[in-house]
Amino acid sequence: MKVSDDMTTYMNVLKPKLKGDTVCKHTLIFRRRWAEVLKDALSAWLFLLAGVGLNGADGNSQDAFQLTIAQANTENPRNSESDIIALNEGRLLLGWSEFYGKTSADDGSARIVGRVSEDGGRSWGKKYTLVEHEDGRNVMEVNFIRLKSGEIALFHFKKYEEVADTWNKSTSKTGDCRMIMRVSKDEGRSFGPPRELTQKNRYVESASGRGLMLKSGRIVIECDDYFGSAFCLISDDDGKTWHEGKRIKPVGGGCWEPAAIELKDGRLLMFLRTILGGQYQTISQDGGETWSVPTLTALRGSGSPIAIERIPRTGDLLAIWNHDVGSPHSRNPLTAAISTDDGQTWKHIQNIEDKSDDRWAYPAVTWVENRALITYFNYKGGMSLQLKSLPIDWFYQVRPRQ
């Protein structure tokens, strides 16, 4: 503003009073000053584009990009729940639920497939099968954990009987959906035989991007029993043996597809998908064995699952969920928020996806250097698996209110 005022003064007052070499001298001074201001402004703008990610979620910077990993089509009407794990030599393995056949319903035929990236998620190799559907309804959901042994554990569930069967229009009082563990000894090229962690004639499910190894070495897999209670499968010997923690549910309703994170003080914070106005949270003081009374958080929305991860560079928590309170469509928008106090408060709330003609669900987050690789699926044109890369700084930007 000051430079502009100085230039106006020069043009309107000083220049008419100056003559000859004096005019040239003063003109050169002001031109140089103006050029320096423009240069500084351009440098600041380029810094924002490169370092802070001003391009945002739709930008084309090196760190911010989006890919369709698996497009829905007549052969594969649904490509959905997913997870990514880092492999040796800087490679990444992305696994997801691939539905095939006549329906994309939860009890439709599905296998688990994968693709490998060698360039940080910017491109992906040929699809291959991780777990084939052999009997029952399907295999689906993907959760990877690197074991202390160095092997990769894959947790998914195998569905034998849906509680509500969309094929035969029949219902079951309990259903039959079992949590399965498989282990890869060759960096995800193949996975070994299934180990059933839960018994038949029970309906136990989870969501994508679940499972964590605590600082103590304990493995915790977040689950629900479909009928409204959450609990954790727990192993203290690198997945060799398992037991179940106590069940928990909010007062006044059920909960599903929980997601946990280890807090800085060693406690566990677990979020619960509900239809009670938003995400509920509960605290465990004993590594997932027991839980406090759940309370409603500021992460409001309809009944959809959340992704919760710790940001490696800052130590803050990142939540991604459907902040669709007041929205005409469920699961729109898909929103991110930051907590700098281990989940007590949330800020930097901003939308990752919010186009009016689509919906998004089941986010999962993997950190690659200073970027978040976020996978989720959209609904428009069939359920297609999407991947979005965002630099960490994108989540901290202050955007003007719309």
DSSP 252-317: TS--EEEEEEE-TTS-EEEEEE-SSSEEEEEEESSTTSS-PPPEEEEEE-SS---EEEE-TTT--E
Residue 280 has pLDDT above 60, yes or no: yes
Instruction: Map out the domains of the chain as residue ranges.
Output: 2-49, 56-396
Residue with tokens 């497009």: 71
CB atoms within 10 A of CB 192: 13
SS3 141: strand
Per-residue pLDDT tens digits for 318-360: 999 999 998 888 999 999 999 999 999 999 999 999 999 999 9
pLDDT surpasses 60 at 389: yes
Residue 267 burial by CB count (10 A; 0-12/13-18/19+): exposed, middle or buried?
Answer: middle
pTM, entire model: 0.84
Q: Which amino acid is at 349?
A: I
Q: How far is CA 294 from the centre of its chain?
A: 23
Is the model's pLDDT at 60 over the cut of 80?
no
Q: What is the mean pLDDT of the chain?
A: 87
Q: Which residues contact 273 (CB under 8 A, 6 or more apart)?
A: 207, 255, 256, 257, 258, 279, 303, 304, 305, 306
Class of CATH domain 56-396: mainly beta
Amino acid at 176: D
Over residues 171-193, the pLDDT tens digits come to 567 899 999 999 999 999 999 99
pLDDT at 162: 87
